[in-house]
Amino acid sequence: MIPEGTRYFLPPEARLRRELLERLARLLYSWGYEPVELPALEFYNPQHTLSDLAFKLVDKSGEVLMLRTEFTTAVSELIKGQRLEGPVRVQYAGPLWFRERDVELGRSREFTQVGAELIGVSSPQADAEILELAWETLQLLGFGGAQLEVGLPALVRDLLEATGLDEKPKEALRQAIQRKNSPELEELLAGYGVHPSLQSALLTLPDLYGGREVLAEARKLPLSSRAQADLDWLETILALLPEVPLLLDLGRARRLGFYTGINFQAYTPDFGLPLLGGGRYDGALLPYAAGFAVGLERVMEALRLPLSEVAPEVLALDRVMAARLRAEGKRVELAWTNNLQDLLEYARSRGIGWLAREGRLEEIH
């Protein structure tokens, strides 16, 4: 028995998990992202975004600690502690833990993330790099048909602030916009007495979804100069990525208090949960930062790959020869007995094709 929300990974699946992690690490490294390793234990902070979901522990001195729930905060603490100046590119990978299962996000209580952060710079070029790298990640994982949806939370935030409403009604409007529930949004706007011109603009947001033509529709809205500048920024990003098939979702209203620039998620047509997500979060944890993270378990579920154990190529009675074959790149198991009949039966059952003994390789029929 193991705790609910955790699981074992048997050899075929465990091997694939490790292969995916290694492939992702190589890709990120090829883009200049150096690996960092972060402690699983952190000081408990009730102000942490996910503190309610964290496992809390008390050490011998009475200090309250928690198990890591996300990586971005830990990366920011690392950067601040080392006083590193940008641009700094880092990658991370490892397990995260929730005190309870997050059914909405499709997560167990223990899950693995891989991510990349570009820190210390803020520009359309930096955002374009993050988006292109996210797209390359999807291609590496085999999601050629995935859709990378890019939002601009500042646009939604700007219009919500223009209503002059208190935080509670603004939050209700935000949730309706994020769910693209236009009837609910219309009812809320009328109930709150929002000015008709703003009502019209806010009702437009859920429909601002599609290709690059969506930018022109957004520019027709009664936006502040700041929001117009954000649209200019997004337009520059798009011009830098003509070959990346981006979808715009300017009605995205997710984590408005965290993301200060672009925010994006990737979906594949036959899987309902995002495969990766990220964005720019200047000032939230660091002066300038952007990045994204991939959920390993979610990726494997979406891939739906047939899992089968790969048999070693050779079963060896000759230990010296086994070492030489391994040095040549072959996968070799050592024999556990001198009984040739038992070894041959075992090799056939496993699909092992060769027997190494007395300095020679013999094919197993």
As given in the structure block, the two tokens for residue 311 are: 């048999």
Inter-helix orientation angle 182-192/167-178, to 10°:
160
pLDDT > 60? residue 323 = yes
User: Residue 168 belongs to what H/E stretch?
Assistant: helix 167-178
Q: What is the pLDDT of residues 247-291, one digit of tens each?
A: 999 988 888 778 888 999 999 988 889 999 999 999 888 999 999
CA 57 to chain centre: 27
Query: Which of the residue ranges 155-169, 227-241, 324-338 would you say has the lowest mean pLDDT?
Result: 155-169
How far is it, in rounded angstroms, from Cα 226 to Cα 159? 11
Give the per-residue pLDDT at 105: 53
How does DSSP classify residue 264? E
Give the per-residue pLDDT at 26: 97
Give the per-residue pLDDT at 104: 52
Q: Report DSSP letters for 265-277, one per residue.
A: EEEETTEEEEEEE
The proportion of the chain whose per-residue pLDDT surpasses 90, expressed as a percent, equals 58
Q: What is the pLDDT of residues 75-99, one digit of tens each?
A: 999 998 887 777 999 999 999 999 8
What is the CB neighbour count within 10 angstroms for residue 103?
8
Band (106; pLDDT cuts 50, 70, 90): low
- Record the pTM: 0.86
Is-contact 262 52, C-beta < 8 A? no
User: Which ranges of 205-286 would DSSP assign to H, the alpha helix?
Assistant: 214-218, 225-240
Residues in the chain, total: 365
Query: Which of the residue ranges 32-36, 64-68, 185-189 would you say has the lowest mean pLDDT?
Result: 185-189
pLDDT > 90? residue 365 = no
Give the domains, in start order, of the chain with CATH numbers: 1-142+268-310 (3.30.930.10), 153-260 (no CATH), 314-363 (no CATH)
